[in-house]
Amino acid sequence: MATVIIPTPLRKFTNNTARLQVGAGTIQDTVKELTQNFPDLKKHLLDEHGKIRSFVNIFIGNDDIRDLQQEHTTVKEDTVISIVPAIAGGSPEGAGANGAVFTKEELARYNRHIIIPEFGFEAQRKLKAAKVLVIGSGGLGSPVLLYLAAAGVGTIGIVDFDVVDDSNLQRQVLFGVDEIGKPKVEAARRRLEALNPYIQINIYNTHLNSSNALDILRDYDVIADGTDNFPTRYLVNDASVLLGKPNIYASIFQFEGQVSVFNFRDKQGQLGPNYRDLYPTPPPPGLVPSCAEGGVLGVLPGIIGSLQALEVIKVITGVGETLSGRFYIFDALNFESRTFRIRPREDNPISGKNPSITALIDYEQFCGMRAVEDKPLKEITVKELYDWQVKGESFQLIDVREPHEYEIVNIGAELIPLSTVAANSERFDRDRKVVVHCKVGGRSAKAIRELEEKFGFTNLYNLKGGILAWVDQIQPELTKY
């Protein structure tokens, strides 16, 4: 009988026997006999075609059977056969001296990513090397930014011109009560830096428009569009196409969310469709209201923004199949999802056969809206307000904060919370000066703009610095919050 020496790792399949006796013949017969007697050995010795696995070496004495007659090598009575597993391995691919290097703290932080076999170190390294620009830090931007920062995207840019408003907090989970009135990008940066100190956050406290979009987008690899209006959506789409950057799109309205990946070049080099392949032109103005007008269920941007973050991560890492060429719709009310196939159109005005758009255009005009003019508000300082009071000047004082804030501290103004201002426009005097205030001045500015735009007021003054400035400079004995 010939002897087969079983390697340690396979002995648990041979009842812990190291040496087995087999009949004479060829190696093929030996393997057959072994796998018949010990069926569990089969998958370790043979591949799905019944061939000896490439990482299993079989030796007769000191000779590899590959150097003899392979599986037809003769096995004699005194032959000693060794099954030798190939021992090999290595560290992950592609992380040479130029690749992103992780500190021990980062490795610990991202451990749950790195241990996923299909994700691993390679994907984490790509995240660290990636630069993502998130446009809008509101309902969608909040989860997108939180998850991208948490996931370890190395550089994140945030574009937003807005300030945090109390009515944002129902869905914009990046922010808290303390940030009301502060620029969103600054509040977002503070929150994200507290979450992940190993990444870089760049902020752009500005309106994205045709004159600055290319310069801002240029520095990033991936764009995530979380804006809430058509002009900016077309602007982001066109700028992404012109710069050749993938644009991960999401939008929400009331109970419905949409997600897709636009302008994405896949591994085969095929460029996927963009927003204009789906909607070549915008809907008539006013047909589709914004969240501010139409409302949105607060949890919906949490769901859709998370899906958007997922697609950003897949685009960066190349893991999985992205939504490029597909358009996903989630109906929260009926809990239904639909995915449509979308294709590049030949008549696409920016990426079709004969493109008519070769540079950014005026998107307000394109979407049938008048340009947003940032005409200056009339302002009044707390000292001036105090002077008016002392002099007995006739004016009306309105507070647009929330009732619970009013209870904490107030300066004798009439309370008309921001969300109810339009409905209560008749309570604003037209025949004398009206001073509008909030906590620090953001919400009152919004109230004034709304009243001016919708009701044509011209006598409204914004209290600079809000009630906090008043407490600081005029009545320090009052409560600050």
Partner 1 sequence: MIIIEPRVRQLLVEDALNTFPDECCGFLFGREEHDGTRLVVDILVVDNSKEGDKTRRFEISPQDYMAAEAHALDHDWTLLGIYHSHPKHPAIPSETDRQAAQPYFSYVIVSVIENTRSLASPAEKAIELRSWLLNDEHQFEEEQILDYIYS
Catalytic residues, by residue number, are 291, 438
Shortest Cβ 155–partner 1 spacing (Å): 22
Q: Which of 428, 465, 425, 475 is nearest to 445 (CA)?
A: 465
Cβ closest to partner 1, residue 54 vs residue 211: 54
Q: Which residues bind partner 1 (CB under 8 A)?
A: 5, 7-12, 44, 55, 57, 59, 62, 64, 82, 84-93, 95, 101-102, 104, 107, 111, 114-115, 117, 120-121
SS3 state of residue 68: coil
CA distance 431 to 433: 7
Burial class (CB in 10 A: 0-12, 13-18, 19+), 31: buried
Cβ closest to partner 1, residue 54 vs residue 394: 54
3-state secondary structure 415-436: ECCHHHCHHHHHHCCCCCEEEE
Shortest Cβ 65–partner 1 spacing (Å): 11
CA distance 114 to 122: 8
CA distance 352 to 345: 6
CA distance 179 to 165: 8
Shortest Cβ 35–partner 1 spacing (Å): 16
CA distance 413 to 45: 84
Q: Which of 370, 359, 371 is nearest to 211 (CA)?
A: 359
CA distance 447 to 465: 15
Cβ closest to partner 1, residue 86 vs residue 194: 86
**Tell me, what amino acid is at 341?**
R
| Strand pairing report for 336-341 and 395-399 | unpaired
DSSP state of 66: G
Q: Which of 139, 158, 138 is nearest to 199 (CA)?
A: 158
Shortest Cβ 47–partner 1 spacing (Å): 13
DSSP state of 424: G
CA distance 448 to 118: 53
Shortest Cβ 84–partner 1 spacing (Å): 4
Shortest Cβ 188–partner 1 spacing (Å): 30
Burial class (CB in 10 A: 0-12, 13-18, 19+), 227: buried
Shortest Cβ 64–partner 1 spacing (Å): 7
CA distance 412 to 478: 12
Shortest Cβ 320–partner 1 spacing (Å): 16
Cβ closest to partner 1, residue 102 vs residue 230: 102
Cβ closest to partner 1, residue 10 vs residue 52: 10
**127 in Cβ contact with 151 (< 8 Å):** yes
Shortest Cβ 30–partner 1 spacing (Å): 17
Query: What sign does the dihedral 191-197-198-201 (CA atoms) show?
Result: positive
Q: Which long-range contacts (CB under 8 A, 24 or more apart) does 387-390 make?
A: 388/433, 388/435
Cβ closest to partner 1, residue 87 vs residue 390: 87
Cβ closest to partner 1, residue 44 vs residue 190: 44
Query: What sign does the dihedral 314-316-319-322 (CA atoms) show?
Result: positive
**406 in Cβ contact with 435 (< 8 Å):** no
Cβ closest to partner 1, residue 90 vs residue 244: 90
Cβ closest to partner 1, residue 9 vs residue 280: 9
